[in-house]
A and B are shown apart, each in its own frame.
Chain A
Amino acid sequence: MNLKETYTISIYSENNVGLLNRISAIFLKRHINIESFSTSLSEIENVFRFIIVVNIDPNKIKKIILQIEKQVDVIKAFYHTDEETIFQESALYKVKSSSLFEERHIQNVIKKSHANIVTVSPEYFVIEKTGFRHETEELRKNLVEYGLLQFVRSGRISVTKSKMKISELLNTFNKNK
């Protein structure tokens, strides 16, 4: 059995109801667990972008990409290794306000992690940290002892180092039409 690798899949697509279901079904059918999944607008108007992170055999990833591209509403799909992309995750931490004033050490933790304080209220305050998984994870571990009320981390978002050429692709379609 081949060792699994982490791949970031980028999908440019139409924004149609049900496409998310159609794409996740491709993974479900093959019993592949999705590590993270995020969607947003892309750089092109009316074109959506999915970023999906999976750990799979290198020989499976190409086949998955072809199955994704086969979907009618998908414009183009790519896969990249971590070296080929610039990627980040965002995390939010909700902490009891009392610890901010009573435990001086927490201020050092926040400062050292380059996290931002988003809001402060008498009961709680919220910290935001964007970075690599090990960075947001380290901050989470450090905050646990001060009473972490809530923690949430986003899926990976990423851009590629190479060009995607989606506008060119769409222009070719418009010309041929």
Chain B
Amino acid sequence: MKNNKSNKISGAEAVIRCLLAEGVDLIYGYPGGAIMPIYDELYKFQDTLQHVLTRHEQGAAHAAQGYARTSGKVGVAMATSGPGATNLVTGIADAQIDSTPMVCITGQVASHLLGSDAFQETDIIGISTPVTKWNYQITRANEIPEILAKAFYIAKSGRPGPVLIDITKDAQFEEFIFNYEYCIGIRSYNPVIDVDMNSLKNAAEIINNSNKPMIVWGQGIILGHAEDEFKQFVDISGIPAVWTILGLSALPTSHPLNKGMVGMHGNYGPNILTNECDVLIAIGMRFDDRVTGNLETYAKQAKVIHFEIDPAEINKNVFADIPILGNCKDSLTKIIPLIKKRKHDSWINRFDSLMEIEEKEVIKSDLYPTKEGLTMGESIKTINNYTNGDAVIVTDVGQHQMVACRYASFIKSKSNITSGGLGTMGFALPAAIGAKMGAPDREVIAIIGDGGYQMTIQELGTIFQTKTAVKIVVLNNDFLGMVRQWQQMFFDKRYASTEMVNPDFVTIAKGYFIDAERVTKRNQLDKAVSRMLSTDKPYFLEICVEKEDNVFPMIPTGASVSDIRLS
């Protein structure tokens, strides 16, 4: 009965059925004219597919990112045409540079109006092209199943990324016979290259014969679900391992071979020893400039072994003596039997003695300050005391982010959610909503600066409406602290537009019926954090910190990693 009208469904219903077929049970979005047919179907399917109404489409995109990062599933965001679609773009760009699997669905004006400058028409395909892994405009309902199947396949396979599907309003209304088939491959797209055993053997030989090897790991470990294999590799090889900001939490903080962070505000030892190691084993990371500093003087003495899923990352910034293409779960599994059990005691001592210097020069005054004002570091330390590392920490961008990543402790993977590559202020609050929904049994704490908080502060409304129990900590120094730090160091203290006259954040939170308090003194901090973490409701805590503290260590722009400064 192929042509029986009862077998036909609308394009809008097909979208919902595709999402359900892909295992989606939660989406973030904001309705509007050109996507109303899909929202009408969402109404009918509300028992099986939850829609979270954010207060801005950017919030929907970041929430979908947060959800993807804690759940490991594809995040879905939805918006109408025109401004709805353009408001998603920052989140899409963020997901692209941080390899977050996300599918965005946007409504579009009816196909006969395309190009007529219709109401809320914008060329979102053109706008989103440079910041999506793939995008496509659907103008006929019968394209929906195949294209959405492709969208999910592309978003999550290989190096993950965002996909945008734009659907004209007439395609949403049009009826057709629905049939869904999962995408299992695309002939022009090879997401994962098979691991080459010869390269692995060469790599293993170099690793086994090395005297001062160092591992730098990134988010690839987490995206590749390779945490167990990675830990085995570290344990057997006995090689000190350091992380990029997005790799954080893939190996527990307390692991004896976890030697800290590399990069601009990373730890002293890992940066200095990058230029002393004889073998640099990079796993699932892409040598971002914030990691490498000046490339001309980056690890020139070392043989570089680069485990990477994306061929375009090989030799992009740092030459790889041995590139190992493929999924790192696969390549690590295969290299482990080739690795000799080693200990690198004297080499590891180098990390530890440099850490002693950093502790004396930087960490002591960050975590155990003797001055009156509160520090960001002691705020994070106090949170650690209550979470014992078992919380998801969502950070925004700036000083608080660097401090949180330096000092927060982690015992589980997928626990550090931050905007790394794009550096998107305003990321944390909406991302925390998604992070909590992606990991509802875990404590989710958003740590945000007073600047970034006000970029997406309206998402307090989403938290209130959905009763999502995120804990919000604003580290308030009444400044755009990181920019102010640069102005102090490199622009003779000309504080151009970095001082913020802030509102009463506690009153604002209370306006959204969120319990809230403010801490200004050291003796209030511990109890306030305890109160925040003992409730199962959303909570807002403002910690007023020292106004003009700086984040150290620091590698100034253009300097070598080994020229890292402690003050």
Contacts and interface: CB of A to CB of B under 8 A. Distances in A.
A102 B227 CA distance: 83
Contacts of A119: none
A125 B271 CA distance: 71
A63 B130 CA distance: 16
A74 B184 CA distance: 17
B187 A173 contact: yes
A161 B136 CA distance: 35
A62 interface: yes
B312 A67 contact: yes
Nearest to B163: A72
Given A21-B126, A25-B129, A62 B188 contact: no
| A28, A67, A73, A174 pick with most chain B CB within 10 angstroms | A73
Nearest to A47: B188
Interface in B303-352: 310-312, 314-316
Contacts of B316: 63, 66
A75 B312 contact: no
Interface stretch (A11-19, A78-86, A148-156): A11-19
B137 A17 contact: yes
A173 to B, nearest CB: 4
Interface string B173-199: 000000000001111110000000000
Contact of B130 (A16, A29, A69, A73): A29
B400 interface: no
Contacts of A72: 133-134, 154, 186, 188-189
Contacts of B129: 18, 21-22, 25
A75 B311 contact: no
Contacts of A69: 311-312
B125 interface: yes
Contacts of B189: 72-73
Per DSSP, chain B at the interface is: mixed
A176 interface: yes
A74 B137 contact: no
B477 interface: no
A170 interface: yes
B401 interface: no
A66 B130 contact: no
A63 B189 CA distance: 18
| B125, B134, B187, B310 pick with most chain A CB within 10 angstroms | B187
Interface in A154-177: 170, 173-174, 176-177
A70 interface: yes
Contacts of A74: 188
Contacts of A66: 311-312, 314, 316
A22 B136 CA distance: 11
Contacts of B137: 17-18
B154 A70 contact: no
- Which range holds the interface residue count of chain B? 20 to 34
Nearest to A65: B312
B184 A75 contact: no
Interface string A84-111: 0000000000000000000000000000
A96 B373 CA distance: 85
Contacts of B312: 63, 66-67, 69-70
A174 B315 contact: no
A122 B369 CA distance: 93
Given A18-B125, A63-B312, A25 B187 contact: no
Contact of A174 (B135, B154, B187): B187
A170 B189 CA distance: 11
Interface in A1-23: 13-14, 16-18, 21-22
A72 B133 CA distance: 7
A169 B513 CA distance: 60
B135 A73 contact: no
Contacts of A62: 315
A177 B134 CA distance: 22
A17 B311 CA distance: 25
A91 to B, nearest CB: 31
A72 B155 CA distance: 11
A141 B300 CA distance: 53
A177 B310 contact: no
A64 B134 CA distance: 18
Nearest to A169: B187
Interface in A36-78: 62-63, 66-67, 69-70, 72-75
A21 B135 CA distance: 11
B111 to A, nearest CB: 12
Interface string B102-142: 00000000000000000000000110011001111100000
B135 A18 contact: yes
A170 B186 CA distance: 10
Given A18-B125, A29-B130, A177 B315 contact: no
Given A21-B126, A29-B130, A62-B315, A14 B310 contact: no
Contacts of B154: 72
Nearest to A66: B312
Contact of B185 (A70, A73, A176): A176
Nearest to B126: A21
A174 B187 CA distance: 8
A17 B137 CA distance: 9
| B126, B134, B310, B312 pick with most chain A CB within 10 angstroms | B312
Across the A-B interface, give the 3 residue pairs with the lowest CB-CB distance, nearest first: A66-B312, A75-B188, A173-B187
Given A13-B188, A16-B136, A21-B126, 18 more contacts: A18-B125, A18-B126, A18-B129, A18-B136, A18-B137, A21-B125, A22-B129, A22-B130, A28-B130, A63-B315, A66-B314, A69-B311, A72-B186, A72-B188, A73-B134, A73-B189, A75-B187, A177-B185
23 contacts: A13-B188, A14-B188, A16-B136, A17-B137, A21-B126, A21-B129, A22-B129, A25-B130, A29-B130, A63-B312, A66-B314, A66-B316, A69-B311, A69-B312, A70-B310, A70-B312, A72-B154, A72-B186, A72-B188, A73-B134, A75-B187, A176-B185, A177-B184
